[in-house]
Structure formats: structure tokens, C-alpha cells
Structure 1
């Protein structure tokens, strides 16, 4: 018989604390759970509740927590551990093809941060660099054939820039909490959705993960997806996304961002972006990460068995990354001719050390749980603290089919003059599809019966 808990926010907070301390390898017993549940319950305003052994048993059953005996200590980060991790992964992955082996990881992104220098006729006052940060989670397979939709975690459930019509899920999977961090609740929702997609396709895969508290899957029942956690303290050496895939994604994102800032400087407009534009650029940057880059990064980690290893291309693995950095460097010089030769490299790596899931204290746990509950009660259009509270620009009127056709026709004329055949093919396909939709007429119901006599 399914029983629902009386205080879900308190149990969410307690499980968040439990996964955090277990992520650090700490031992937890029943007495500690009861004591911490009482402390967090008081912080959340829970009254007249008996933190009994019966409630604790139900709590552990609901979250799939059981007793396990500890076995030794975690290995330190050294070459021995890395070599052992290689051997373990090669054995584990021997039964999977590169198409069926995935890696998942998060990174912080300063999505508004532009270059620091600019051209001017007179000295200009400095301004605070935008450090508005979101968490971007990426996952892909070893063959580079499946770069799944990027996942973005921001601070607002529905920022004002979204208006009433913008749909973030067209570009990314979108989540929110007070700190814009990955949590075990969000992670489990992502993994369950992936497992459901695999089950519908009759496909079995394995997913490699680093062993952080936000990746807790206690009690999760998966049918077509196997989770394999990388050895502690080795992920910087053997995790494919950390081997250059995330860096390539960020380089492509920042290339778009600097180009946008150059265009706005030429148009005398404010150099900034909102979250809508950031989601669009994130999707485009992730789509432009090539299969060659992905395969080379997986190959260089050395974790794939020889029989199933992806073949590294003969092209220098750094060529694509170098071209993107060169383009960023050129754009930065348009804004600041005295920028140093390493300006692009430093700019791309500026948020490399940003934490996507910091250590959680009681205040942070209560803040995350309380904010999530307030948003679910107050509706989808509320902002949370820290978001841009300025008045949004007036929302443009919906574009009609006639206007869209005219715009595509203008774009076709532009690319005809530029001689860009690839762009022309895509534009003609879109124009043809739109024109067909415009001319679809509803048939008379009697004609249906006449046709089927």
C-alpha cells in the first residue's frame, strides 16, 4: 500500500543532506537521521511531528535507503588509481558498442560574460563583470552519433525574459533552484526520462558518471540503463567530457557571444544577453560540437576496450578547437586591439573551476527546498532572488505565416548574393514546408464519404 509522507519538504531536505554526507564517504546511522530530521524540520517550520522509529523506517523505504557494511577507505588520486580505473572500465565496457556507451557531466557557465576590454575615444569607466552563472549538463555517446539535448539549471523557474510564449524546452531541458545547482532530485528526473526513452526504443545502454552527491540514485529502478560510477578522484583524467568536449562546447558558445557583442557595439546597443538568447546559443554550440571531437576525446581517455574503441581521426585533434579559438581571438581584437595573445584561451576557460554542486550546509538545503516549494505554490511566472528584475522589453507580436515567408525570401536573396549553396538548400526547404502549411485547406466532410463509397 502506497503511503505519502506528511511533510515532503522536510524529507526532501533530509535526503539531500544524506546524499551530501554520503558523497563524502561519511557513515550515517538511524540516530543521525532522526537528529538531523528534527533539526531540518524545525528550520522548515514543521510542528507537532513525532520523529519516531516508525517514521524513520518509512522514510528509508520511500527513498530506498538500507544498511551496508563499510569496506576500507577511498583510494587517493594517483597514477595507480587511474590505471586501475582504466582496467576496470575496459572490462565493464567490453560488452557494449561505442553507440551504447554514454558519459554525463555538469559545468558552470557565465552565460553573459563578455571580453573585458573595449575601444573608445576617451577613457571609459570600468563596470562589474557579469558573473551570472547557470549549470549546463551534457551527455553524449562514445561514437559521437548522439549528443542529447543539453540540460540547463538556472535560478528562476520562469524568468521575465521568457514572457508568456517562449518555450525553453525547444532548445534545452530546463530546471531551476535557488542556487542553479544540480541536485539529486533533478538528476533522478533526467535519468528516469533517459531510461524511459531507451525502453521505448528497446535499447540498452551504460552511462558513466562521477561519484558526486548530486548523482545519488538510491532506490531508483532502471530497466534499460546501467549506471557506472567512475573511481574516486580520477574523473579529471578518465572522464571523456572533461577531456575536451566541454571545452569545445564553451569555445563555440563564447564565439557566438563575442560575435553578438561585436554586432551590438556596431549598432550602439547594450552588450548583454538574456536567458532566452543563452539557451538558443547553448543548443547551437552543442550541435556544432563535431563527432570527430567527441570520438577523439573518448579515445584519449583510454577507457574503451580495444575491440570497441572508437577510431581517432587522422586530423589533428586540436585543429577544430584551434580554429574556434582563433576566431574568438580575432573577434576580441575587434573590441580590444591591445588584448594579449592568450585572451581567447583565458576567456574560454574563465569559468572552468565554477562549482555546479557545492557542499550543502543546513541553510543552503533549507533555502533550496523552501524555494522549490514556494515556486510550485505561487505559479510558474515568479522570479527568485538574484535574477534580473528590470522591466522586460515589450513582447513582440506573433509572426504570421505570410511574414515568415517574406523573411525567408529575403534571406534566400541574401545567400544567393553570397553564393552559399548549403544555406540556400536549408532555406528553400523551410520555405517550401511553410508554403505547404499555408495552403492546406480543410476538406468538406461529405467529400470524405464520397471518396470512400
Structure 2
């Protein structure tokens, strides 16, 4: 996180900071001398760790000094004793914060799985949900096309939208996809197209997930559960846009996954999002293939994109969903969904094979991994504004 990141964390610390009983010793936290500075430092720590970066004691001390200066903290010794107390107050005293190797990460993953199994023991797989966002280059086709095919400039564009997905552990409820774009109502919608027939639709200048959008989604889900008379738990990563406070949720419990473990224990990251993108890109390549064969410009608009997103999500099978949840190891043995004989990778392989075949028709020289690379091309794209010193303070 760069030096331009901090102004907003400190200024909006109450809005952004999430303090849970699992992660913070609330009694001790009352006795810190500069709570605003510690809140900001903990927020920075959570954000950086959530991106998988290692943080050592020296980094914490230096960032504490920088944030303290921004907040007007004076005559304060950022000592090792203070740091030890800070880590204890924030529930991070038992984590190694320097040079974390793969073996240490595995320890964190094992511990995270054990903690989740205990937390989820009282819930049925039908009532355990996971939510996550992914960036999607919705217009991006394969890298090469036939020389005779007319190609619109934006067909090769990396125009990003954000797609948020959530589903339960049994694979019986894949909630309507959430799409965030830059345009509130693009021209292609005309007067009659209703995007909410296919997805939950939001817009802002950066097509990012925001705290306001996330709160609206969560409150709507809670209302839905209340009408159904259900009580569910929703697993989330520690993204800043998920840092809700003060929500009066009656039927939904939010549970945040341990930092730096989400790539291994978050079900949507364990293959569900990848399966969704494979189904989406199969449709997109087929569309571009048809355009090429018919001599039409290869292009896609937001109307088509929303319909393809909805269909792609529907094409993710319950088998794939259940197997991805099963492979994370986070479900308690008594409640664990049973992995079926058909592995989700078999379904993925079939979809990738179809994409590879279509790409080869567009480009006979395409390599054997073209489909896999195409499906994963936007895997690491940001879906929310990264916190910086300005956004922290």
C-alpha cells in the first residue's frame, strides 16, 4: 500500500474498521492511549495481509509512526513493548509477522480450517454461504482472430466490470449475480431493457464494489432470509469494502476468513469463479466465432453481457459447487457436503476443451494452453479501490 493510501482510513476509520470478538480483545482495546492511531494501523495491517503480503514488526512500527503523525499524535514512543501490546489487543499476538514461509502459511490454513469447522458446526450446508467479487474483462476475446474478420476496437479491450457471486455449500442456491459497471444506463439498454431480469445491477465511475453497494446487498439478503424464516452465515474475505459496521442484521451472521488464507479456503476461489468464467468465455468466443464466420463485426454490448453472465452462472453445476466447498476442508465432518464421483475439474476440462476448439477455429496456431490462459486472464484484477494513506486518514 503506497504513501498516497492513508488519508481515508483515518478519516473514515469508524466506517471501515471491523472489530470482531474473534479478532480483538475488546476489554484491553479500551486501554490503549491512542485508539484512532491503533484503529488505523490495524486497518492497514488487515488490508495488506488480505493481499497476501508479509508484514514484520519494523513495518508495523514505521507505519504506526506515519499514521500517528497524520493524526497529530505527539510525544509517543513507538516501542517494541507498545507493539507487543498492540498485537495482543488486536488478536494478532500469536501470528508470526516476519518472513512468513509457505510452511507458516500452511499452519495458518490448517488453523483457519479448524476454526471454521467449529464455527460452522451448527449450520446446515444449505445455510452456509460464501460471497466474493471478481473482475471481468467482459469484451476481451482471444488474442488473435482471422485476418478476414472485421474486429471492433473494443473487442480487444480490457474494459473491466466487477461481478460478485455468492452461493451456499450444498449448491442449491446460487444467488443472482451482482454486476457493477461504469454506466448507470448505457445507450444499448434503450427504453425497455431491464438489467435486473438477469443480474443485480449497480454502477459507479470505477465499476468497483463499494461499502454502500455491499451493505445494500447484505441487507437485501438478510430481508430475504427473514421472510423465509432462515438463519444463515456468510463467509467473507477481509476486503475493505466488506468492512460493515452498525448493520442490524437479524437472520444473517457475517464471518470473516483469516487473512492470507482466502486463496486456499474460500470456496469461490477454489474453482467456482473459474468455472463461471469458463462458461462466460465459452459463450463470448462462440459469439465472436459466429461474427467471424458471418463477416460481422466482433463486438458485444452490456445487454448481451448481462444475459451471458446470468447463463454462465446457471451453467455452474451443483456438483462443481459442492466439490469446491468440500475440497477447502472448512466444513465440519458432520455437515460436510459429499464430493461426488464427477470431479469439478472434469466439468472444467470439458468447458476448456470447447473453448480451446473454438479458439483454434479462430487461430489455428493457438497453443495448447490458450483456453486456460484466456479464462484466467483477469484473475488478479482489482474489484475495489485499494486503501492508501489518504483513504486511511
TM-score where L is the length of structure 2: 0.73
Size of the aligned set, in residue pairs, is: 364
* Alpha-carbon contact 1:93-1:304 (below 8 Å) kept: yes
Equivalent residues of 1:101, 1:207 under 8 A apart: yes
Shift of 1:358: 3.4
**Structure with larger Rg:** 1
| Alignment CA distance shift 1:130-1:49 (3 Å) | farther
- Which has the larger displacement, 146-155 or 156-165? 156-165
Give CA deviations for 1:171-191 in whole Å, capped at 9, x if unaligned: 000111111111111101000
Deviation at 1:9, TM superposition (A): 22
Deviations 1:94-134 (A, max 9, x none): 00010000000000000000011122369999998210100
| Conservation of the 8 A alpha-carbon contact between 1:63 and 1:219 | no
**Structure 1 position 31, deviation (Å):** 24
1:245-271 deviation digits (Å, cap 9, x = unpaired): 000000000000000001111111110
Deviation at 1:212, TM superposition (A): 1.1
| C-alpha distance in structure 2 between counterparts of 1:206 and 1:89, whole Å | 11
Residues 341-398 of structure 1 show CA distances to partners (whole Å, capped at 9, x for unaligned) of 111011000000101123145889xxxxxxxxxxxxxxxxxxxxxxxxxxxxxxxxxx
Q: 1:51 to 1:299 in 2, by over 3 A?
A: closer
Moved more, 313-322 or 348-357: 313-322
For residue 44 of structure 1, report the CA deviation from its aligned partner: 20
Cα distance change, pair 182–7 in 1 and its aligned pair in 2 (3 A): farther
Deviation at 1:53, TM superposition (A): 32
Deviations 1:182-217 (A, max 9, x none): 111110100000000000111100000001101011
Task: Deviation per CA, 1:51-80: give whole Å up to 9, x if none.
Answer: 999999999999999999999999996111
Residues 36 and 85 of structure 1: is their aligned pair in 2 closer, same or farther, counting only changes over 3 Å? closer
Q: Name the stretch that deviates more: 11-20 or 101-110.
A: 11-20
| Gap change, CA 1:338 and 1:60, over 3 Å in 2 | closer
Structure 1 unpaired stretches of 5+: 365-453
Contact 1:135 1:153 in 2 (8 A): yes
> Cα–Cα, structure 1 residues 277 and 80, in superposed 2: closer, same or farther, change >3 Å?
same
Question: What is the distance in 1 between the residues matched to 2:314 and 2:370?
Answer: 25
Q: Tell me if structure 1 keeps the 8 A contact 2:166–2:175.
A: yes
> What's the RMSD between the two structures over aligned residues?
7.1
Q: 1:35 to 1:145 in 2, by over 3 A?
A: same
**1:29-59 Cα shifts (integer Å, max 9, x gaps):** 9999999999999999999999999999999
Contact 1:243 1:301 in 2 (8 A): yes
Deviates more, 1:309-318 or 1:194-203: 309-318
Q: Is the 8 A contact 2:164 2:179 kept in 1?
A: yes
Q: Residue 49 and residue 138 in structure 1: after superposition, are their counterparts in 2 closer, same or farther (change >3 A)?
A: farther
Contact 1:77 1:234 in 2 (8 A): no
Which SS does the other structure have where 2:135 is aligned?
strand
Change (3 A) 1:152 1:6: farther
**1:83 CA drift (Å):** 0.7
Which position in structure 2 is the counterpart of 1:322?
A: 349
Structure 2 gaps of 5+ residues are 1-27
| 8 Å Cα contact 2:163/2:177 also seen in 1 | yes
Q: Matches of 1:90 and 1:4 in 2, distance apart?
A: 33
8 Å Cα contact 1:75-1:232 kept in structure 2: no
CA distance in 2, matches of 1:169, 1:193: 14
Q: Quick check: 1:104 aligned with 2:104?
A: no
SS at match of 2:104: coil
Looking at both structures, which has the greater relative contact order when contacts are Cα pairs under 8 Å and sequence separation is at least 6?
Answer: 2
Asked if the contact 2:152/2:299 (under 8 Å) is kept, the reply is no
Secondary structure at the aligned position of 1:174 is classed as strand
Query: CA separation of 1:29/1:158 partners in 2, compared to 1, >3 Å: closer, same or farther?
Result: farther
Structure 1: distance between partners of 2:134 and 2:353: 23
Aligned 8 A contact 1:154 1:176 in 2: yes
Structure 1 residues 74 and 148, CA gap change in structure 2 (3 angstroms): farther
Tell me if structure 2 keeps the 8 A contact 1:329–1:343. yes
DSSP 3-state at the match of 2:153: coil
CA distance 1:245–1:56, change in 2 (3 Å)? closer
The Cα offsets for residues 151-182 of structure 1, whole Å up to 9 and x where unpaired, read as 00111111111111111100000111111111
Say if 1:245 and 1:125 are closer, same or farther in 2 by CA, change over 3 A. closer
Structure 2 CA distance for partners of 1:5 and 1:264, relative to 1, 3 Å: farther
Deviations 1:382-429 (A, max 9, x none): xxxxxxxxxxxxxxxxxxxxxxxxxxxxxxxxxxxxxxxxxxxxxxxx
